[in-house]
């Protein structure tokens, strides 16, 4: 089953699917709403084993990601999500480029950014050009899954924290079609 939603709609969709007794082997949410801690909080047991694609998870094995996440919680008393991690990493990229630029002219800063090749809490940053696109940073899409109340990184394996769970436990038999 694939559902697309944002915010509280994500938890409502999943809770409704559970209430209706939809017996799916796989539930994939296609938006930020499925990746937020509020999703798990609001959806409760219906959130278990739900997958969602995202550019970042709190559990991803990027250097400093978990430290950033824990410091954010300590300071703001609530978890962050990928927008916060992206902005945090951007500050490091900008600081790095400004240190390497010989001057503060737009040309020198642009050149320093073009030479950027670093790992951040948000993942690798290297600006490349391809086709008609100029100076793009291709970040990998991650797949997360809610397992035991925690949004775990399950793919790609190089940054995963746990193995994915499929099919949803207890749903090994094929669904009957009426």
- Asked if residue 20 has pLDDT above 60, the reply is yes
Are 145 and 133 within one domain? no
| Structural domain boundaries, residue 68 | 60-138
Are 41 and 72 within one domain? no
Predicted pLDDT at 156: 94
Are 87 and 37 within one domain? no
Are 46 and 100 within one domain? no
Mean pLDDT to the nearest integer, 133-143:
91
Are 148 and 126 within one domain? no
Are 172 and 134 within one domain? no
pLDDT, tens digit, 9 for 90 and up, residues 68-79: 999 999 999 999
Predicted pLDDT at 177: 45
- Asked if residue 6 has pLDDT above 80, the reply is no
Are 71 and 130 within one domain? yes
In the chain, the number of structural domains is 2
Are 145 and 130 within one domain? no
What CATH number is attached to the domain comprising 107? 3.40.50.2300
In the sheet that holds 133-137, the strands lie side by side as 117-120, 123-130, 133-137
Are 50 and 85 within one domain? no
Quickly list DSSP for 59-77.
Answer: T--STTHHHHHHHHHHHHS
């Amino acid at each position: 089953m694939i559902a697309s939603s944002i915010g509280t709609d994500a938890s409502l969709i999943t809770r409704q699917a559970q209430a209706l007794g939809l017996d799916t082997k796989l539930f994939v949410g296609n938006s930020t709403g499925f990746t937020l801690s509020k999703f798990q909080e609001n959806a409760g047991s219906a959130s278990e084993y739900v997958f969602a694609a995202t550019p970042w998870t709190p559990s991803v094995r990027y250097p400093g990601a978990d430290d950033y996440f824990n410091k954010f919680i300590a300071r703001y008393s609530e978890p962050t999500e990928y927008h916060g991690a992206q902005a945090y990493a951007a500050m490091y990229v900008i600081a790095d480029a400004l240190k390497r630029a010989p001057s503060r002219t737009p040309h020198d800063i642009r050149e320093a950014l073009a030479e950027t090749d670093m790992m951040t809490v948000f993942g690798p940053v290297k600006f490349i050009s391809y086709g008609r696109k100029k100076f793009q940073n291709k970040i990998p899409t991650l797949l997360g899954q809610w397992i035991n109340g925690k949004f775990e990184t399950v793919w790609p394996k190089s940054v995963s924290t746990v193995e994915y769970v499929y099919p949803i436990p207890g749903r090994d038999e094929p669904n009957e079609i009426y």
